[in-house]
Structure 1
Amino acid sequence: MTTEEIDRAAGVGLRSERGPILLAVMLSVGLVAIDATILATAVPSVVDDLGGFTQFPWLFSIYLLAQAVSVPIYGKLADLRGRKPIMLLGVGLFVLGSVLCGIAWSMPALIAFRLIQGLGAGAIQPIGMTIVGDIYTVAERAKVQGYIASVWGISSFVGPALGGVFSDFVSWRWIFFVNIPLGLAAAWVLTRRFKESVERQASHKIDYPGAVLLAIGGSLLLLGLLEGGVVWAWDSAASITILAAAVVLLTAFVLVERRAAEPILPLWVLGQRVLNSANSSALLIGVLMIGLSTYVPLFAQKVLGTSALVAGFALAAMTLGWPIAASLAGRIYLRVGFRTTMLFGSVIVVIGAGLLLTVDSGSAVLRLAAACFVIGLGLGFSASPSVVAAQSSVAWQTRGVVTGANMFARSVGSAVGVAVFGAVANGVLAARLGDSHADLETLPGEVLAPAIHGVYYGAAAAAVLLVVAVAFMPNRIVEQPLAK
């Protein structure tokens, strides 16, 4: 970047020039955020049209797998080739996947096209956050993180509503076609307004062996965690084989990374106090988020007797509290430091998890929503500062890798959460019914309530561990240069 561009990135020059870039990032993140909720409400319509009821969970699993394992790879490529081409690649893949999903003729085809969407999402989320880290200072970044978090909050309301409208009055295919104008607008703004100059050296070498080992090993690990205890038993030959292969490939990945000239995921990421705390926090946040997003709506519908829409809004209270806290967090950590702010947030998460444990079959749904809102506040004060701290602790050349590692940790946390909470719920049911493979969706509320409360206890334990993880974050961090 030129001196003028660096000054502008630091807020010295024309601040308004960063506005369109931020808007493009928010539009891009909005693609992923809306997609996270819009499909769930349309599943019955999709199954009625395409069939494949037993296969539809793969619409979500394959997307998560593709997104999670590609994140670290995109992060490294963004450090080598620049943010702009990788972000445009992600948006392009997501839009292409959306078009193909919209014209899918069978459930297997739709699942395959969701994989393409997941590969696009794997670039959009971390590279968008990396761009924000590049062009805004620490003081500005917290407010901007609040803007991006608000995209998720708005999407949590807009997504289910759009999914219902398209399914009931138009066609489920439009839940994918709606991504086309958003993606094209984001790509157009990025192309026109985001200028960067990256020094491409002949000495740069992409770590292809590491990328392949991480992609396959990570996919097998997440596959084993997501489907273990669901599609196959934990002690089955399939589960043992998949998890053992994942361990072997990921061990080989570590050995390759130790010798690679420019590793996809440098091992020094695991040796820094700031990054260890940030990534551990991200993993636990992933655990908490999947626990809430999976079991809070189920509790609201089956135990409290609400509609699916009301249950969705109860969960949306969490994503409403998150951006509020994220926008306030910057003012706090600039005064009292990162660790103090994150400890404050994680304690609020513990309080929210405690409130969740007090909700029973006789509670009003507003009480459930209030607990989710408190947890969202705590996560906003914990998650946003941890990302800012991680990005600020490294220079431009490694900011993509660091952001990608943080997002990857959250994805792994979600997969671990699915496995752990599923085991907890099934364990409680097994103790009561003698059936460890009961279908949660078909059980009456009085039977289901204790199982979900077991999950809530697990979420409370994760919240306590989050306090421990953020306690290792330094309170003050020496900020590295915004740009090269």
Structure 2
Amino acid sequence: MATERDPLILNEAQDHRPPGPRDISRSTRYGILIGLWSATFLSVMLPSISSDFNKSNQASWLGTSYLLAVCTFTPLYGRLCNIMGRRGANQLAVCIAALGTLLCGFSTSMELLVVARFLSGMGGGGILTTCTITTSDMYSMRSRGLAQGVQSVFNGLGMGLGGPIGGLISDRFGWRWAFLIQMPFFVLSLALTTYNLRYVTPGKSGNTKDVLKRIDYGGIFSLLLCVGSCLVFLSMKYNEDLPLVDLDQWSNRWVYVPLALACIFSVVFILVELLVTSEPIMAPFLLKQKVPVLVGANNFLVSLCNFSVMYFFPMWFQTVALTSASTAGLHLMPNSVCMSAGSLFAGWMMHRTGKYKLINLIFGFFPFIGITLITLLRKDSGPLQMWLSIVPLGFGNAIVLQTNLESSMAVGTGFAQLFRGIGQVGGVAISSALFQYKLDYELRSRIHGDGAAEIVSRIRHSTTLLGELPPDLQHAARESYAIGLRAVFTLAACSALLAYFVRLPIPEKNLDSPPKETDTQPKSINPGAESRALPPPQWSPRRGERGSIFSALEPTECTYMRLESASIGGSARQ
């Protein structure tokens, strides 16, 4: 409504300036969200793919290589969102992920496939990061939970459909098409973001060269080498068939050299974070505070639990129940549906009450119950237990992740993301090492006679071989796989229970509380007017208070972030 203070003639440049993230129309906002979410829609069945190369014992490398890239390169995209704009950073991530996925489809060896998966992870982590940042732009903290709940529904459908569709495609047309079929979704994502993602985020601009210098390259590189060396050690010690020297595998250089390098680069990473970089991805001063440490420990344990189960639960049906890859993947569908329902429920509750502690306490125990039911699975278990035992895990974890996101925003998204990434990599690598160790031990204790070593090696290298074995060998192999997988699920159950107790001391945070002095964006006078653009933030970061969503310490309300380039707006070049 016009007042006597409004100018009679509007400034033409101001009238035609690009809209802010809360000025855009509802249809444009939905177009942006669909474009962002469509890039993460499908997943693939990793064990069946690795079996095509007759290297099922290396299946974890398909996951760990992807997650290693996500863990180490994700912090870059917080800066890139400010340097390139939201649209530029997102499209860069989508292009890298699409290129990696395309190379996966044309890989001719397991080694090339692992490298291609690493490239996919470099883009995949950026897709998730830019999606989180853009959603934070467009919604207030209280409404953000509901928006992210809808996002989890979309991603949950992708996870649920990706497994059976990927398995069905692998069974019918070959594993390559499980990758290639994802390409249209990347194209759709690029088209929708190009057309819709054009808002500009207000904020203080800076020099791009200076911003690039503030990226913690030393920390990222040393973390990559530390975690990568640890993965090589675990793989060589437990997954590979290495020649033994004096019957002692520890004497093989492919075992002790990666372990030594992992220790060395862990020390280098700590020294870089403490003494060298000005804006570390793991802020040392946060390790002295209770809440950041608890949030980081919870993220590590929850991620370890989730990825241990997600990567090995379908394998139980392929190797113990002897189902097809598509049927095995279909058993993840109840988990995906319940994750979607749990995310929506948590988002709705936070939007309605402005609190999240109580539902975390009540439903945070569900994952432990679900994994316990999974651990009790047997070959002769009934269909209800086989199909529904994973339901409490999916529903409970969705609520835990959704409510824990609010705690992460209060203490440092980058800090929390670092521990989450390490937990994801560790969940696959540690559980794979444990599984291969138990599987090898059980197979060797059950299979004897001439050619036993070769038979054991063939069974470990291909999950599809079990259906072709003679009855006595098949029984021994299925029992061995069952014991190995039960050890993985027991590890996940312990991790889920420990995570529950770690979360208990984390205090409640009112999502309607006024922002602190360190907030990047003052709240609107009218809290209900989410579609109105807010003025640029008046904020100058001190040490420990950074200007990026993936910085060490994140302000309470991180809807808006400081721009880093004078020539690039929040989402597109001006």
TM range (shorter): 0.7 to 0.9
> What is the distance in 2 between the residues matched to 1:16 and 1:270?
43
**Equivalent residue, structure 2, for 1:150:** 153
RMSD between aligned residues: 3.7
**Equivalent residue, structure 2, for 1:405:** 418
Runs of 5+ consecutive residues of structure 1 not aligned to the other structure: none
Cα distance change, pair 413–460 in 1 and its aligned pair in 2 (3 A): same
**Equivalent residue, structure 1, for 2:35:** 24
**Equivalent residue, structure 2, for 1:325:** 342
1:167 shift after superposition: 4.0
> What is the distance in 1 between the residues matched to 2:360 and 2:231?
28
- SS of the aligned residue for 1:474 comes to coil
Compare CA radii of gyration and give the structure with the larger one: 2
Query: Residue type matched to 1:196 in 2?
Result: V
1:324 shift after superposition: 0.7
1:41-440 residue pairs with structure 2 within 5 A?
41-43=48-50, 47=53, 58-78=61-81, 82-167=85-170, 169-170=172-173, 172-194=175-197, 195-197=199-201, 199-201=205-207, 203-204=210-211, 205=213, 206-231=215-240, 236-258=252-274, 259-333=276-350, 335=353, 337-391=355-409, 393=410, 399=413, 401-402=414-415, 404-405=417-418, 407-415=420-428, 417-419=430-432, 421-422=434-435, 425-426=438-439, 429=442, 433=446
Cα distance change, pair 111–354 in 1 and its aligned pair in 2 (3 A): closer
1:21 shift after superposition: 1.7
Question: Across the two proteins, how many residue pairs are aligned to each other?
Answer: 469
1:83–1:127 CA contact under 8 A, matched in 2: yes
**Equivalent residue, structure 2, for 1:471:** 504
Q: Residues 347-393 of structure 1: CA distance to partner in whole angstroms, max 9, x if unpaired?
A: 111222332344333311331321101111110111121123312x1
Query: Residue type matched to 2:28 in 1?
Result: E
Query: Residue type matched to 2:397 in 1?
Result: L
1:234 shift after superposition: 6.5
> What is the distance in 2 between the residues matched to 1:340 and 1:424?
40
1:422 shift after superposition: 2.3
> What is the distance in 1 between the residues matched to 2:437 and 2:131?
35
> What is the distance in 2 between the residues matched to 1:176 and 1:320?
23
> What is the distance in 2 between the residues matched to 1:168 and 1:451?
25
Runs of 5+ consecutive residues of structure 2 not aligned to the other structure: 1-13, 243-248, 467-475, 514-555, 562-574
Query: Residue type matched to 2:200 in 1?
Result: E
**Equivalent residue, structure 2, for 1:480:** 557
Query: Residue type matched to 1:99 in 2?
Result: L
Cα distance change, pair 355–17 in 1 and its aligned pair in 2 (3 A): same
Cα distance change, pair 422–41 in 1 and its aligned pair in 2 (3 A): closer
**Equivalent residue, structure 1, for 2:571:** none
1:415 shift after superposition: 3.7
1:346 shift after superposition: 2.0
Structure with the higher helix share, 1 or 2:
1
Query: Residue type matched to 1:383 in 2?
Result: L
1:14 shift after superposition: 4.1
Identity across matched positions, percent? 22
1:6–1:482 CA contact under 8 A, matched in 2: no
Structure ranking higher on relative contact order (CA contacts 8 Å, 6+ apart): 2
Query: Residue type matched to 1:368 in 2?
Result: M
> What is the distance in 2 between the residues matched to 1:252 and 1:185?
42
> What is the distance in 2 between the residues matched to 1:406 and 1:144?
24
- SS of the aligned residue for 1:444 comes to helix
Q: Residues 304-362 of structure 1: CA distance to partner in whole angstroms, max 9, x if unpaired?
A: 45444333222332222111111101233453833322222221112223323443333
Q: Residues 403-442 of structure 1: CA distance to partner in whole angstroms, max 9, x if unpaired?
A: 6425414423424542564277359738965999885655
TM-score of the superposed pair, with normalisation by structure 2: 0.71
Q: Which moved more, 1:430-439 or 1:293-302?
A: 430-439
Cα distance change, pair 338–240 in 1 and its aligned pair in 2 (3 A): farther
Query: Residue type matched to 1:128 in 2?
Result: C
Query: Residue type matched to 1:23 in 2?
Result: I
Query: Residue type matched to 1:156 in 2?
Result: M
Q: Which moved more, 1:441-450 or 1:121-130?
A: 441-450
- SS of the aligned residue for 1:359 comes to coil
